Chains A and B, each alone.
Chain A
Amino acid sequence: MSADNQLTRRQRDDLRAIAAMIIPASDEYKVPGADDPAIQADMLATLGRDTKLVAAALDHLARLAGAPLAELDAARRDAVVHEFRKSGGAAAATLVRVVLQCYYRDDRVLGSLGLELRAPFPKGHVLPDGDWSLLDPVKARGGALRRAP
């Protein structure tokens, strides 16, 4: 079941607001912020087992803010978020992780990082074999295993 229905409207609004504070959009890097509608939709669709902790984190945030986060002035918002990070514990950490894990799999974001838009399997990656003559000093130094009686 989608978590879309498991978070209240207020919780979804606050999630979007704090996501924008974590990762704002950037013209310089040509990437959306974490409040982007597609990234938010990904978060809500895949919250799954994290729903309970994320909801708890958003409730904690709401208590600290006393009003929708987006409606606070910048200074007050910063103060609330500072306290949220300090006192939010595992729930806050889970919320931040959910934001980051959905942001860093978005096609536009990965594209801007120069990463391919695909799963690792089945193509994999190619590694340079390297210059194994680097091992020559180790071979030259030698050494011996500690003797066992």
Chain B
Amino acid sequence: MKDPVDVLIIGAGASGAAVAWSLAETKMHILCLEQGGWMNPAEYPSTGRDWEAKFYGEWSSSPNVRGRPEDYPINDDNSPIKVVNYNAVGGSTVMYTAHWPRLHPSDFKVKTLDGVADDWPIDYEALTPFFEENDRMMGTSGLSGDPLSPLTHPPMPQQPMGLSGAIIGKAMNKLGWHWWPSDTTVATMDYEGRARCINLGHCTPACAQGAKSSTDITYWPHAIRAGVELRTHCRVREITTDENGMASGVVYYDKDGIEQFQPAHVVVIACNGVGTPRLLLNSASGRFPNGLANSSGLVGKNLMFHPYAQIYGYVNEPTDSNRAPPTCLWSKQWYDTDLSRGFVRGYGVQFVRGAGPVFEAVVSEQKGILPWGEDHHRVFRKLNGHRLGFSAICEDLPEEHNRVTLDPVLKDSHGIPAPKVDYTISENSRKMMEHALARGREFLETAGASDICVNSPIPWGGWHLLGTARMGTDPERSVVNEWGRSHDVKNLFIVDGSIFVTSGGVNPTSTIQALALYIADQMKQRLANLFD
């Protein structure tokens, strides 16, 4: 039998890496098990001439399409929004847009302010030092001073405005609407061993330059140097418990597919809002018949995605197309509740700079604006390199019927039951999306765009997996307490997006990592009585 470790972290993505690094200073024996492996930037799509085609296959954002050995299948047939993720050291930070807003202070008090959902058991101020620490570790770029966003201090200047940014800014100014350069995790200068961005453009499916921050090149090198052990290609099947109801370790399959048991004194789950409930539900036992840490019955429930309402069109001037990171500017014009709009809460906007030629051709043909036949060439030249987009990221409120369960049939390559997602878009979200599309159309028309197209929701837009093991002070209404510890199992912690109480209207990775650092800090402060 293997020697027990002090802390066992499951998952080496955004939150697992941050926790591992933070806890390393305790000098405890920390082990992280990751189902994927280390990535090789020399093989990233942007290194080859077929860089766009790869997005439809081995570099698809959908694990169901990608089907790498490291992936597990997800039954999302009963959801208009499909789950996208990445499984490797770095997790989905390997494959994301690097857009880096954070939750607003008001997002933690939605019940008090708007009478919906629940307040968080912690507030923005509790996370502030960890946001700052995380921004330094991940290496952010941006422009401090946005009047409608929380004050940030990015260590690097904002991305260039580019051709698209100027068109966007002028149109938004004509309308008198807010816009600002996005905080991003794209390095705009050499930073901590990372080379600056050279505008490879196709940076969502991994950055060959290393300018886009992912935890395999930020947190992990530091954590490993500090003594954390990271075992790759190890897929955890279940968390085991002892006669006292405490977590005793995990059963996992190693890189050779051999079943192993790893005992541990503390278990930390960092598997995202789909992987975490899947693991807890797969860890059911005689003592925990409904799944581990699930006395509330809320494990897997309250799944929040952020429905994206996207509208785009084509301007006469050239845009940046694929020659720049896809996002560069945001707007918080409609972020806060205004009941005259017909819905509660709000949305952030991320502007899109353009697309590459293959993507443009494929999508435009599907939309019916790029014809077959003789006129194809003329129309393609009008579209390609002229796209401008407006994507609203709508706050998704928690609803228990939106959930992750175990699929009765579907299993991964190790025979572990796969997750099943049941999700519908709420009436409030639909109204929000309609509002956003109307504002987006005004924006595009002001910019002079034509051939306007809509994706609402973006079907392959389930990047943000939140809420399925929510935090709270009431064990009957939450899965973990206000510092991430399971109410039911005193040595089990959850640090990923599943502990979100509400979703806000922003990309969540910055807040996920700040929460992970906050929970690690709470653990360090309580080491003497962690299980009380």
Q: Which of B166, B178, B366, B373 contacts A130, CB < 8 Å?
A: B166
- Does B150 lie within 8 Å of A145, measured CB to CB? yes
Tell me if B50 is interfacial: C-beta within 8 Å of chain A. Answer: yes
**Interface size of B by Cβ–Cβ distance < 8 Å?**
70
- Does B372 lie within 8 Å of A148, measured CB to CB? no
- Does B358 lie within 8 Å of A104, measured CB to CB? yes
In the complex with contacts A24-B373, A100-B362, A149-B109, A115-B357 CB distance below 8 A: yes
Q: Shortest beta-carbon distance, A125 to chain B, in Å? A: 4
Q: Which of A101, A119, A142 contacts B47, CB < 8 Å?
A: A119
- Does B147 lie within 8 Å of A144, measured CB to CB? yes
Task: Using CB atoms, name the residue of chain A closest to B325.
Answer: A127
Q: Shortest beta-carbon distance, B165 to chain A, in Å? A: 6
Q: Shortest beta-carbon distance, B337 to chain A, in Å? A: 8
In the complex with contacts A110-B357, A138-B147, A148-B108, A121-B208 CB distance below 8 A: yes
- Does B105 lie within 8 Å of A22, measured CB to CB? no
- Does B201 lie within 8 Å of A120, measured CB to CB? yes
Tell me if A89 is interfacial: C-beta within 8 Å of chain B. Answer: no
Residues of the B chain whose Cβ atoms lie less than 8 Å from the Cβ of A118 = 49
Q: Which of B56, B109, B148, B337 contacts A148, CB < 8 Å?
A: B109
Q: Which of A23, A97, A134, A141 contacts B176, CB < 8 Å?
A: A141
- C-alpha spacing A28/B381, complex, angstroms: 13
- Does A142 lie within 8 Å of B147, measured CB to CB? yes
- C-alpha spacing A15/B147, complex, angstroms: 56
Size category, A interface: 35 or more
Task: Using CB atoms, name the residue of chain A closest to B148.
Answer: A143
Tell me if B365 is interfacial: C-beta within 8 Å of chain A. Answer: yes
Q: Shortest beta-carbon distance, A124 to chain B, in Å? A: 3
In the complex with contacts A121-B47, A125-B201, A148-B106, A48-B163 CB distance below 8 A: no
Tell me if B526 is interfacial: C-beta within 8 Å of chain A. Answer: no
- C-alpha spacing A139/B148, complex, angstroms: 10
Task: Using CB atoms, name the residue of chain A closest to B163.
Answer: A128
Residues of the B chain whose Cβ atoms lie less than 8 Å from the Cβ of A21 = 372-373
- C-alpha spacing A48/B53, complex, angstroms: 11
Indicate with 1 or 0, residue by residue over B317-348, a CB within 8 angstroms of chain A CB atoms. 00010111000000000011100000000000
Q: Which of B172, B208, B377 contacts A29, CB < 8 Å?
A: B377
Q: Shortest beta-carbon distance, A42 to chain B, in Å? A: 9
- C-alpha spacing A48/B335, complex, angstroms: 44
A residues 93-132 with Cβ under 8 Å of B? 93, 96-97, 100-105, 110, 113, 115, 117-132
Tell me if A137 is interfacial: C-beta within 8 Å of chain B. Answer: yes
- C-alpha spacing A104/B365, complex, angstroms: 13
> Could you jot down 26 A-B contacts, CB within 8 Å?
A24-B374, A24-B376, A26-B377, A29-B381, A97-B362, A100-B361, A101-B358, A105-B52, A120-B46, A120-B201, A121-B44, A121-B209, A123-B198, A127-B160, A127-B323, A130-B166, A131-B166, A134-B169, A134-B170, A135-B169, A138-B147, A138-B180, A144-B147, A146-B106, A147-B106, A148-B123
Given A120-B322, A122-B209, A127-B199, 10 additional A-B pairs, CB 8 A: A24-B374, A101-B52, A101-B358, A101-B362, A121-B208, A124-B201, A125-B324, A128-B163, A135-B169, A148-B113
**Which A residues fall within an 8 A CB radius of B?**
21-24, 26, 28-29, 31, 46, 48-50, 81, 93, 96-97, 100-105, 110, 113, 115, 117-132, 134-135, 137-139, 141-149
